[in-house]
Amino acid sequence: MPKYRLSWPVILALVFLVSTSIISQCFSQESITLTTYYPSPYGVYKELRLYPNDSPTGCGDAADEGKMYYDDSEHQLKVCIDDGFGIYGWQVSGGLWTQSGNNLYPNDTNWKVGIGTTTPGNAKLQVNGAISRQGSTVTSPTQVNLGVNSTTQGMYTTVSGGGSWNRATANKATVSGGQRNKSTDLSCTIGGGEQNTASKPAATVGGGIANTASGHNSVVSGGSGNVASHTNSTVCGGLFNTAAGDYSVVCGGNSNTVAPGRSYSWAGGRNAKVNHVGSFVWADSQNPDFTSGGFRSFNLRAQGGIYFSGAAGANSLTYHDVAEYMDTLKEDGINEGELVSIVDNGIFGRSKKLYDENLIGVVSGGKTCSFHMGNRESSSEDIERLPITLIGPVYVKVCQESGSIKIGAPITSSSFPGTGMRAGKSGKIIGYAMEECDFKDKKTDEILVFVNVGYYVSESDFEKLKKVEEFENKFNLLNERIDKLAQSTAKEN
């Protein structure tokens, strides 16, 4: 049998291996620092194994950078590294992704992530296919369902979040959130809330509770128990309101109704009821129903009164008049503030003579806030419809033909077309001056007049009337005495 002689290097290597094996049996783990040099005297190292560790220590500063350990609980190799801001921590080693605790992110923040696509474009994350939350249902790759126990059906449908049991079950239908909402027809949308339904194409419910948009393009903005049931009908909000006419609107409030078929109507307030086509009904806070009075009617209930104001603030002085659009001769070219008279059946022209018995009013202007009535549109090329003041303060063009004007002076027509003057004798007037005017170097001016068309009696005529009245009183007294005398004579006979 041949004899082998071991050299000292070999003997030392064997002793190292045996001692390492014995030590590894005595201790569960150890730290080791490996160094090597090139070329390796003993060939190639084929395997390096780290003992699993659940609780590593020593990753707090630059001195620890580069340490490694194998995480037994996550089954990953981790390295102590700097996060770029001087903070050190254990991170997954190698690859395109890094996991730190519950966070997972690409190692390069400029990378874009594609799921189902190799070309995510400009988006940080692009998904080609349906997106669904666990427990919810999708039936098409064009759907997004992020709700809880929610359902999407059809193309391009979305349940983007919210609570349980939301349903978007038609092409392009959307439920943005909330709970137990149903968007069941083409392009329907529900913004949120609870137990809302959008059930006709392009119907929308913004939110609230138990609202229904069941007409084409109908809208319920919010509130509770509201219904928009016809084409282009709208309920702005409130409680238990119904818009059941095409193009009808209920603008909030409580228990207001546009009845079925009452199209182009409006209701608001409390218990306003529209029963006629094209009507407007607003009711105040009183409880009884307030109902439209006829077709295309304006109906208003306001127990505290009705107020109009054009003032911009507490210190603003704005006058208000009531005017109605009427037919005037276009050839006259009547301007605001000018006087008008009746010239034909229902047609007005510029006043052209003194104390015109047909004087009817003045054209309302932009210097006062007018409540205008009537239709502005003319039925003839020869006619221009202008607002004629019926009552209230309005600025009027005046002249000095009968002298200066004092406050309270009656204003009538002058010999200058469309121009008023102080009335010096009895006759038709348009109203009374609210301002003084001495004209100075001007022949005409503009003053504020309170329009109230009537008949003025001059002082001289008034004195004559007083004398007539006195004569009538004396005559009546004489008649009474004659009657008594006649009665007394009859008794004696």
pLDDT at 219 over 70: yes
Give the DSSP letter string of 250-301: E-SSBS-EE-TT--S-EEEEBSEEE-STT-EEEE-S-SS-EE--STT-EEEE
Give dist(CA 76, CA 68) in Å, integer: 11
Would strands 76-82 and 68-71 be described as parallel, antiparallel, or unpaired? antiparallel
User: Contacts for 288-291 with beta carbons within 8 Å, 24 or more apart?
Assistant: none
- More confident position, 364 or 60: 364
Can you tell me the mean pLDDT for 239-251?
97
Q: From edge to edge, which strands make up the β-sheet containing 158-159?
A: 131-132, 144-145, 158-159, 174-175, 189-190, 204-205, 219-220, 234-235, 249-250, 266-269, 280-283, 298-301
Of the candidates 176, 175, 203, the one whose C-alpha atom is nearest the C-alpha of residue 187 is 203
For residue 96, what pLDDT is reported?
65
Give dist(CA 59, CA 88) in Å, integer: 6
For residue 22, what pLDDT is reported?
47
- More confident position, 281 or 21: 281
| CATH of segment(s) 320-456 | 2.40.300.10
For residue 476, what pLDDT is reported?
77
Of 192-196, 256-260, 465-469, give the lowest mean pLDDT range. 465-469
- More confident position, 128 or 173: 173
pLDDT at 452 over 90: yes
Question: Is residue 360 within a helix (H) or strand (E), and if so which, with residue range?
Answer: strand 359-362
How large a percentage of the chain has pLDDT more than 70? 83
Can you tell me the mean pLDDT for 159-187?
92
Are the C-beta atoms of 231 and 245 separated by less than 8 Å?
no
Give dist(CA 341, CA 356) in Å, integer: 8
Band (39; pLDDT cuts 50, 70, 90): low
pLDDT at 253 over 80: yes
- More confident position, 192 or 76: 192
Can you tell me the mean pLDDT for 156-165?
87
Domain boundary assignment for the chain: 48-100, 320-456
- More confident position, 210 or 142: 210
- Strands (E) located in 83-213: 88-92, 97-100, 103-106, 113-115, 125-127, 131-132, 144-145, 151-152, 158-159, 167-168, 174-175, 182-183, 189-190, 197-198, 204-205, 212-213
pLDDT tens digits, one per residue of 351-396: 999 999 999 999 998 788 778 888 888 888 999 999 999 999 999 9
116: left (phi over 0), alpha (psi -120 to 50) or beta: left
Strand partners, 168: 152, 183
For residue 1, what pLDDT is reported?
45
pLDDT tens digits, one per residue of 332-356: 999 999 999 999 898 999 999 999 9
Are the C-beta atoms of 146 and 134 separated by less than 8 Å?
no
For residue 24, what pLDDT is reported?
46
Would strands 339-344 and 359-362 be described as parallel, antiparallel, or unpaired? antiparallel
Give dist(CA 442, CA 397) in Å, integer: 12
Residues with Cβ within 8 Å of 73's Cβ and at least 6 positions away in sequence, in order, are: 54
- More confident position, 262 or 11: 262
Of the candidates 231, 235, 224, the one whose C-alpha atom is nearest the C-alpha of residue 246 is 231
| DSSP for residue 194 | B
Band (28; pLDDT cuts 50, 70, 90): very low
How large a percentage of the chain has pLDDT more than 90? 52
pLDDT at 23 over 50: no
Strand partners, 344: 347
